[in-house]
Homo-oligomer: A and B are copies of this chain.
Amino acid sequence: MKLKKIVLTGAAGRLGSYLREPLSQMCEALVSTDITDDLGKLYANETYVQADLASYDAIFPVLEGAEMVVHFGAIVDEKPFEELLGPNFVGSYNIWEAGYQQGVRRIVYASSIHAVGMHKKADFIGIDAPHRPDTFYGLAKCFTEDLGSMYWDKRGLESVHLRILSAAQVNNARALGSWLSYDDLIQLVTRAVDTPSVGFSIIYGVSKNDRAPVDNAKASFLGYRPKDNAEQFAEAVLAETPAPDLTDPGEMLQGGPFAKVDLGQSGIAQMKIVNDKKTV
């Protein structure tokens, strides 16, 4: 059944932007929301509403009549806890509580590998690995997953938590394993929306990379079958990769640069520096 209404948060963000078109095709009305003034040109059945995730009163009316919320809105960088508290923690609560009050059936959430970023890459963790956040950013993902578990157990509100590994270009050795292509991201979100029942589910957002360090077997019923493989970039990337420091958490752990960044310090910036050095 085509859905009547989907709400997309974080619609102005890097990943959110890619989702507007495919989501607009899965429903009669797509309501996109973000904190920016304007989203530019809209799709035929798309509406834009500016709203601050940290404000329950702003979020509540946006969700009226929605069957699903695709919740990608958040500060997407490591920051001091105080800065993340509103959008990333309270924002998640607002989405779930307003969703429940408005009769939303399901929330599809952009979680992150950083919820489990302190596990070793070599451990090939599954979706049931215990939380081991690497940053306050990752801690907010842990919080939201637990929140989603509770709303399902107590109130029957479904959610799928997409633990995205990395969606940037493949220009460093870690990304050979962690890459999620935009096409695969779209398939992932599509499956999370079109699967008839999902309960409370967790799934890693990663392409079919030969070197993928995580195990989605236990999420098989969702039918996510990625198509892209970062191995196409391996030769070029590895040619530029020096012998690693084996005592560096950023090398050995799932979270990569976030696994070694100081708490509250931006990791995205650091990732960019690393990337600049290694651009293919």
Contacts and interface: CB of A to CB of B under 8 A. Distances in A.
A63 B195 CA distance: 46
B132 A197 contact: no
A122 B221 contact: yes
Contact of A146 (B133, B147, B153): B133
A186 interface: no
B196 A241 contact: yes
Nearest to A215: B217
B118 A132 contact: no
| Identical subunits present | 6
A118 to B, nearest CB: 4
A1 B131 contact: no
Contacts of A132: 149-150, 153
B1 A243 contact: yes
Contact of A194 (B67, B151, B195, B238): B238
A33 interface: no
A244 interface: yes
A142 interface: yes
Interface stretch (A12-20, A34-42, A44-52, A89-97): A89-97
B121 A221 contact: yes
Contacts of A210: 223-225
Interface stretch (A69-77, A154-162, A163-171, A268-276): A154-162
Nearest to A154: B263
A139 B134 contact: no
A233 interface: no
A156 B194 CA distance: 33
A199 B252 contact: yes
Nearest to A130: B128
A131 B155 contact: no
Contact of A97 (B81, B120, B134, B222): B81
Interface of A: 1-2, 67, 81, 85, 89-90, 93, 97, 105, 118, 120-124, 128, 130-135, 138-139, 142-143, 145-147, 149-151, 153-156, 158, 173, 176-177, 194-199, 201, 209-213, 215, 217-225, 231, 234, 238-244, 246-247, 251-252, 262-263
- List of 3 A-B pairs having minimum Cβ-Cβ separation, nearest first: A211-B223, A210-B223, A118-B153
19 contacts: A1-B238, A1-B241, A89-B89, A118-B149, A118-B154, A122-B221, A123-B218, A124-B219, A131-B146, A132-B153, A134-B150, A142-B146, A154-B263, A196-B244, A197-B251, A197-B252, A199-B246, A212-B220, A213-B220
